[in-house]
Structure 1
Amino acid sequence: MTLKGKFALITGGGRGIGLGVTLALLEAGATVLIAQRQPLQGTLSQNPNVHFCQVDLLAKDASKTIAVYVEKHLGALDVVVNNAGIMFEQAVEDLDEEEWDRMMMINTRTPAFIVKALMPFLVASTSASIINMGSIEGIAANPNHLAYCTSKSAVHGLTKALAVDLGSKGIRCNAIAPGWIQSDLSNAYIGSQENEEKVMSELLRMHPVGRTGTPSDIGGVAVFLASEASSFVTGQILVVDGGRTSKLPLPF
């Protein structure tokens, strides 16, 4: 699969899952625009095929800022990866309205309005693909993740609605629903547990493939969805979780 000659935007593409997607898109030949608040680190900042738009994705004018950058510096866009998101844990009785609104803003509102702002470029593309980052928590729930699960369920719904509305314009839209993906945050969470070895063992037992995921696992799926290899795929939620949600739990 090749993305040579294609221009791709990825929000939050400088670290974690986003970095895995960025590296995979670059390897496939795409020119990548990373939009995020944090400056780029490492070799990304020196890569001639990487553009950077520093923007606070919580700002209401973030989508317009990105669209202006695309018009000025790229002139075209074929792939949009709405990857950036936030997560926090709160029990129902402790829900904070401001935190709830912040989560919904960046996880659901921002992707929708980025697509709106970039519509002229997507319509002009001969192979436009939108990829939203959902979650297995848009399908099932972990404790105290009410806001996060709600936001990711909304992302899945947004994906299907965009696929229906934009299909006649030649624009596809799909979502990736990652399971447990290794990152600084997930590793820190495991490390904070009293019995780290036991927790990791139990976590691995939940995955039929015998391991947790990596950002590159998500990157490979993103390349597929961005490429012509998936030209008849739209409106789908691709679960990438090592079989975790397919395995029925047993008490032994």
Structure 2
Amino acid sequence: MSSRLPNKTALITGAGSGIGSAIATLFAQQGARVALFDLDGETTEALAAELKQQSGQHCFAYSADVTQPEEVQRAVSEAQQALGPIDILINCAGVNVFRDPLALEDDDWQRCMEVNLKGPYNLIRSVLPGMLARQYGNIVNVASVHGHKIIPGAFPYPVAKHGLIGLTRSLGVEYASQGIRINSISPGLIMTPAAEAWLASCPDPQAERERQAALLPCKRIGEPQEVAYTALFLASDEARFINATDILVDGGRSQIYHE
């Protein structure tokens, strides 16, 4: 079977684990050169070495804080020097911030917005000039079902994810005539290390896992690779007429009502 991202260079943030790691792995398997950005430099270095060995693709790892514009620009420049112009950007870095609105500290609000909303914008601003110069680029932002449905006890995370979907739509329209596509994916409950840690913190982890699965029409929790395949489609030229839109990857849960 032919690869779906031949001769493409993809930059993926949050690539050290979970959905970001699954996307990086799949993209390398599909013929892309990959730049892995994450705060955990050791993890991304190890993953880059593994992907290079498995796929034969050039891989670049960089420890980068997406909230720091100068650091992002420096990292993007180094990735371009190592791998060539960036064709695809996947904004997957994120952080869960769930607080009581009245007890929310300013630092928590700032951290939520900086990582989940400003971080993607920092990366977009860094890669966009090169994409515009070549009149080609595909950007995929990993949003959340929280950007569609409000779950009590999750504030202010949904605010940031609503903003990220708005950013996607706005910039997607802004640059559509210049060969740039910007879309987003909204995963539901996906069995990432963060989800595993949350389940492990519950009084009865197995009972909570079963309860969560029962809420889903498909009666199972999603896997990171299932989100990765959605990102692959949107990042490829197969989706060349899809722009400024969001795809829910939540097993249908957001379409049903629960008391």
Task: Give the TM-score normalised by the residue count of structure 1.
Answer: 0.93
One-letter code aligned to 2:197 = A
Match of 1:176, SS? strand
State the distance in 2 between where 1:241 and 1:168 align.
31
Change (3 A) 1:126 1:227: farther
1:45: which partner in 2? 49
Moved over 4 A (4+): none
Counterpart pick for 2:187 among 178, 191, 205: 178
Q: CA deviation at 1:184?
A: 1.8
Residue-pair matches, total: 250
1:20-169 superposed matches below 5 A:
20-41=22-43, 42-46=46-50, 47=52, 48-125=57-134, 127-169=136-178
Change (3 A) 1:113 1:191: closer
State the distance in 2 between where 1:94 and 1:246 align.
31
One-letter code aligned to 2:115 = I
Q: CA contact under 8 A between 2:136 and 2:179: conserved in structure 1?
A: yes
Deviates more, 1:35-44 or 1:79-88: 35-44
State the distance in 2 between where 1:88 and 1:29 align.
35
2:213: which partner in 1? 204
2:4: which partner in 1? 2
1:194: which partner in 2? 203
Q: CA contact under 8 A between 1:181 and 1:214: conserved in structure 2?
A: yes
Q: CA deviation at 1:176?
A: 0.3
Q: CA deviation at 1:240?
A: 0.2
Unaligned runs of 5+ in 1: none
Q: CA deviation at 1:15?
A: 0.7
State the distance in 2 between where 1:70 and 1:189 align.
34
State the distance in 2 between where 1:39 and 1:63 align.
14
State the distance in 2 between where 1:127 and 1:60 align.
23
Which structure exhibits the higher relative contact order, with contacts defined as CA atoms closer than 8 Å and separated by 6 or more residues? 1
Unaligned runs of 5+ in 2: none
State the distance in 1 between where 2:193 and 2:128 align.
34
